[in-house]
Amino acid sequence: MVTKVSQIKISLEQPVYTLIKELAEINGLSIAMETRKLLNEALEIEEDVALTSFAMEREVSYNKSNALTHDEVWE
């Protein structure tokens, strides 16, 4: 199956470009694939941070007396 991907053009400082190029060589990937991999990892980290923040807010307002039991949730 052919997957359509969107392209973006970015400008990087030389040290960042060099690091990505070196990582790509180490991992046997093209520079584009290594950059895509790094961006995906960064987005996953951002999502984890946001979900952690959400969970911490929920934890503060948690009241055990109002919580549902396992059986009540699955009814």
How do residues 49-59 score in pLDDT, each as one tens digit? Answer: 999 999 999 88
Question: Phi/psi zone of residue 34: left (φ > 0), alpha (ψ -120 to 50 degrees), beta?
Answer: alpha
Cβ atoms of 24 and 30 closer than 8 Å: yes
Residue 54 lies in a domain: yes
Residue 68 lies in a domain: no
pLDDT, residue 50, reads 96
Cα 49–chain centre separation = 9
State the Cα–Cα distance between residues 72 and 65, nearest whole angstrom.
Answer: 14
Residue 27 lies in a domain: yes
Residue 4 lies in a domain: no
Per residue in 9-51, pLDDT (tens digit) is 999 999 999 999 999 999 999 999 999 999 999 999 999 999 9
Q: What's the domain count of the chain?
A: 1
